Structure 1
Amino acid sequence: MINDLLADIATSPWALPLLFGLVLGDAFLVVIPGETAVTAFAALSVLHGEPPLAAVVTVAAFAAFTGDAVCYFVGRTIDIDRWRWARSTRVQAARRWARRRLHRSTAAIVFTARFIPFARIVVNLTAGAERMRAPRYLALCALAAGAWALYQSFIGAAVARMLPDAPVAAVLISVGVALLFGLVLDLVLAKRVTPDPEV
């Protein structure tokens, strides 16, 4: 029954729009499971042939880029200090850190932050508020979104190829592996996305 449900989801005409919506929403709200959605759909692609894996990567990358670009333009056009959450001590410290890193090593921080939910929101909003040059910044966002989509999709596809006869297990394990890799990546990159003590 669960196998049939997964097959229905994979072959549904709403599969890719759903993926787009989840990844786009993840750019603004860290509770939305954008990463796990990409991994799960990549696994379903390998298991059922739908949606096409190339489409999963493309839609995920485009949705991630769109979300990052919207955050950038929100920061550029709206005074985010009007929001109470943006005035909290933690967010203010993160924004000061992001401001320094963006001016020091824009490409490195854009790529690093794309893989860490809270960090990418802060970096994109701060980049907009700092009036970073849109063509260069958005080009970096596009490259980072593509790398992120490939990474998430690779995990789902790899696990599904190892477990072709167990679709439910393949999807669940691929999501678990993606979450574990994400946790490890967060720990490895923690020093790059943690404000310095003096801020």
Structure 2
Amino acid sequence: MVEALNAFIEANADSMWLLPAVLLVCILDGILPPAPAEPVLVALGAVAVAEGQPSLVALVAVAAVGGFLGDNLTYTIGRYTRLGRLRESSKPRVRGFFMWISGLLMRRGGMIIIACRYVPGGRQMVNLTAGAMEFPRLRFILFDSIAVVTWAVYNVGIGALAGAWLEDNPLLGAAVAVVFALALGWVAERGAQWWRDRSDQRVAQGAG
């Protein structure tokens, strides 16, 4: 079974449809939280090192471009459609969450845009809010460019390290890399939650 799967990976690693498919997944990932961009990049990074295809540089470039397009589409949706009018929500929690993210963007816009690219679900909400509050487009493009390049290098790099370690078994290398990436993603998400709770405490103390 494993040998058959390895053969499938080897046969399709240099397929013409592979990089366009990665581009599409990364675009969708900037808009829809369930899109599995990180596991795809990590797995392909492992395969690329073990099999020599696809090109790591091309993989990083396509992932960064796809992430950039997806993030800017979300920003545009937030700015020009009713989906971005969270400040007018009838639900106090939604309205409060929007105001909280807006405050963070006003104080530390660059850091928030870059950091939240690594938090599934967080990147979509931050980018949507940035558009809704009319965060300057050129500043958003600058910070998001940094975010997507580092994000692409990070995910492909994890896969490449696992692929080099398990060079003779690209499938196992991809599986190990995906598990490792998911664990790091969980840690990043917990860290973001801790930071949010800490920020809420500071706001409450300031109000008191």
TM-score by shorter chain over 0.5: yes
Give the drift of 1:89.
Answer: 5.1
Counterpart CA distance in 2 for 1:5 and 1:135 is 43
Give the drift of 1:82.
Answer: 7.0
Give the corresponding residue for 1:42. Answer: 45
Identity of aligned residues (%): 31
Give the drift of 1:119.
Answer: 1.2
**What TM-score, normalized to structure 1?**
0.91
Q: Does 1:13 align with 2:16?
A: yes
Spell out the pairing of 1:91-106 with structure 2 (5 A cutoff).
Answer: 91-106=94-109
Q: Does 1:196 align with 2:200?
A: yes
Give the corresponding residue for 1:169. Answer: 172
Contact 1:27 1:117 in 2 (8 A): no
Which stretch of structure 1 is more off in the superposition, 3-12 or 60-69? 3-12
Spell out the pairing of 1:146-161 with structure 2 (5 A cutoff).
Answer: 146-161=149-164
**What TM-score, normalized to structure 2?**
0.87
The residue matched to 1:11 in structure 2 has which SS?
Answer: coil
| Distance change >3 Å, CA 105–CA 156, structure 1 → 2 | same
Give the corresponding residue for 1:182. Answer: 185
Counterpart CA distance in 1 for 2:84 and 2:137 is 21
Q: Does 1:112 align with 2:115?
A: yes
Task: Give the gaps of 5 or more residues in structure 1.
Answer: none
Runs of 4+ aligned structure 1 residues displaced above 6 Å come to none
Counterpart CA distance in 2 for 1:64 and 1:170 is 24
How many positions carry a matched residue from both structures?
196
Counterpart CA distance in 2 for 1:193 and 1:58 is 32
| Distance change >3 Å, CA 6–CA 69, structure 1 → 2 | same
Task: Give the gaps of 5 or more residues in structure 2.
Answer: none
Give the corresponding residue for 1:144. Answer: 147
Give the corresponding residue for 2:72. Answer: 69
Give the drift of 1:117.
Answer: 1.8
**CA RMSD for the aligned pairs?**
1.9
Alignment partner of 1:29 out of 22, 25, 32? 32
